[in-house]
A = this chain, B = another copy of it.
Amino acid sequence: MNTNANSNPIVYEENARDRGALLVKCPDRPGIVAAISKFLADRKANIVESNQHSSDPQGGTFFIRVEFECPQLNEKRAAMEAEFESLAESFSMDYRFTYRADRKRTAIFVSKETHCLLELLWEWQSGDLPTDIVMVISNHEEARGMVEALGIPFYYIPANKDIRKQVEEKQIALLKEKQIDVIILARYMQILTSDFVSEFPDKIINIHHSFLPAFIGARPYERAYARGVKLIGATSHYVTNDLDEGPIIEQDIERVNHRDHVADLKKIGRSIERRVLARAVKWHLEDRVIVHENKTIVFE
């Protein structure tokens, strides 16, 4: 049971205790679904949702996410995982079990602009983000008030490229001490080194304020304005060592026109950034995203 002070009671429905999901990636071939569903049926686990994907029907990689409900799941899960191993081996599966009862522990990084942070806190308060927000880290003080008002610890860690190494060491220590599972860069305007990124593979989610791959890098709205585009967008992606090149989770856009100056684009962009990041984070927290090569399979 989750006793974290800033956990979110609304999301924590009773039956969640018996909910789990199995995510699998393996070479495609007949019999996978049969084997998995038999395994679950034999353990009285009822499949409540199932999504699958073949990278290529004529023998490619097969992906499946099965969400199930199983009485006394907490008591059974250890045995279940142990028993699954031989099956997984026979299909050379890369897999993981996840459980609704294990709420992910999240840290949000933010700088001066707080709109994405606010959206996440709002969704979290309304019970739409199944996670414990364990901390907010910022290189500015702007967000302290709204964060502490919700009983969430706020860590002010000044940062700039000259002290990057020390700053990241401090951050990593904090994240590990608090056993953080997910790091959300909610408009955190500092570049992370590959040392930092490699500590948390596929666990750092960023929001980039453009429709990638257009306007990679700095000042995307200024460049969108200069180019005279008729739509602007935002992109949420996993952070890798290639700036803005990580696997894309979600994107969205809105129309703009010649009347919109850079300030208007930024304002319109803020609302796109808010919803794109919120969607991506939700899917990640619900274990609906599988990263494969440099892409994502999102089982919405």
Please report A residues at the B interface, Cβ cutoff 8 Å: 28-34, 37-38, 40-41, 44-54, 57, 69, 115, 118, 122, 126, 128, 149, 211-215, 227-231, 233, 247-253, 257-259, 267, 270-271, 275, 294-298, 300
Contact = CB atoms under 8 A, between A and B. Distances in A.
A295 B30 CA distance: 33
A249 B295 CA distance: 31
A44 B31 CA distance: 8
Contacts of A128: 267
Given A30-B44, A46-B57, A230-B250, 16 more contacts: A28-B46, A32-B47, A34-B40, A38-B38, A47-B52, A53-B259, A115-B122, A115-B126, A126-B270, A149-B149, A211-B231, A212-B214, A212-B227, A213-B214, A230-B249, A271-B275
A265 to B, nearest CB: 13
Given A33-B50, A52-B50, A258-B298, A251 B267 contact: no
Interface centre among A29, A46, A259, A297 (most CB of B within 10 A): A46
A251 B257 CA distance: 11
A57 to B, nearest CB: 5
A46 B56 CA distance: 12
8 contacts: A31-B41, A211-B214, A213-B227, A214-B214, A227-B295, A228-B248, A230-B249, A258-B297
B54 A30 contact: no
Contact of A296 (B37, B45, B122, B228): B228
B228 A295 contact: yes
A171 to B, nearest CB: 28
A9 to B, nearest CB: 16
A238 to B, nearest CB: 11
Nearest to A256: B251
Given A126-B270, A229-B212, A296-B228, A54 B50 contact: no
Given A213-B214, A298-B257, A247 B228 contact: yes
Nearest to A271: B275
A47 B32 CA distance: 9
B227 A248 contact: yes
Contacts of A249: 230
A215 B215 CA distance: 11
Nearest to A63: B258
Contacts of A54: 48-49
A48 B33 CA distance: 10
B251 A230 contact: yes
Interface centre among A231, A250, A257, A275 (most CB of B within 10 A): A231
